[in-house]
A and B are shown apart, each in its own frame.
Chain A
Amino acid sequence: DQQVKQNSPSLSVQEGRISILNCDYTNSMFDYFLWYKKYPAEGPTFLISISSIKDKNEDGRFTVFLNKSAKHLSLHIVPSQPGDSAVYFCAASGWSGNQFYFGTGTSLTVIP
């Protein structure tokens, strides 16, 4: 039972444009969300998080938006750079939870 879904396996974007990666979840108890980035042969690295008390969190070129009623979050990267090419995972948990549920990832390619 996949509680966190990333329905787009891949995405290609031109350098300098916006990249939008989407994530849906099914469990209404989730109230803490994270995005991770993964390069080949490396472990995932933390990018940005958001709790359900907010609907937006920004960190430099990265912004995460949360729509609780739609159980949907998205990661915006502006402007996209070739070095952003990686697999992006979203993850979710209850604030008092003991595990994080991950999506299947979206492979982003930023074309120079």
Chain B
Amino acid sequence: DSGVTQTPKHLITATGQRVTLRCSPRSGDLSVYWYQQSLDQGLQFLIHYYNGEERAKGNILERFSAQQFPDLHSELNLSSLELGDSALYFCASSRGALAGANVLTFGAGSRLTVL
């Protein structure tokens, strides 16, 4: 158990629908990162929050949004889902705001299947 909790583990939904993925960071970590891993692809960075504030945005689609709440948990909202959104979505947390000397601790991921 890495200490990073992601729910749900699996999710099957239809095109056009909206889903919310939830992440609770490891105790004491203030940063949350979201990554997408599609089939045979690497980990694509989506977004980074530190203590409730957005710090960096990657190739995140406009249909996707995220936020980090005062209790530091984060949610990734995916709307108007398309078949190509089927992927593993990972959340990772770290102590600090900046990358240097920090280590990302990953959750087990949420597998989204869009039919």
Which chain A residues have a beta carbon within 8 Å of chain B's beta carbons?
A: 2, 4, 6, 31-32, 34, 36, 41-46, 49, 51, 89, 91, 93-105
Not counting A43-B109, A93-B99, A99-B33, a sample of 17 additional A-B residue pairs whose C-beta atoms are within 8 angstroms of each other reads A2-B42, A32-B99, A43-B90, A43-B92, A44-B43, A44-B104, A45-B2, A51-B100, A89-B43, A95-B101, A98-B56, A98-B98, A99-B99, A102-B44, A104-B41, A104-B42, A105-B42
The answer to whether B45 touches A45 (Cβ under 8 A) is: no
Chain B at the A interface: SS class = loop
Bound form: Cα–Cα A73–B48 in Å: 25
Bound form: Cα–Cα A94–B101 in Å: 10
Collect the chain A residues with CB atoms within 8 Å of residue B40's CB.
Answer: 104
Closest CB-CB distance, B78 to chain A, in whole Å? Answer: 19
The answer to whether A95 touches B99 (Cβ under 8 A) is: yes
A-B contact count (CB 8 A): 80
Collect the chain A residues with CB atoms within 8 Å of residue B108's CB.
Answer: 41-43
Q: Which of B2, B4, B45, B101 contacts A100 (CB 8 A)?
A: B45
The 3 closest A-B pairs by CB, nearest first: A43-B106, A95-B100, A93-B99
A–B Cβ pairs within 8 angstroms, 24 of them: A2-B42, A4-B42, A6-B42, A32-B100, A32-B101, A34-B103, A42-B108, A43-B2, A43-B90, A43-B106, A45-B106, A94-B100, A95-B98, A95-B100, A96-B99, A96-B100, A97-B98, A98-B55, A98-B98, A99-B33, A100-B33, A101-B45, A102-B42, A104-B42
Closest CB-CB distance, A57 to chain B, in whole Å? Answer: 13
The answer to whether A103 touches B99 (Cβ under 8 A) is: no
Q: Which residue from chain B places its CB closest to the CB of A93 in the assembled complex?
A: B99
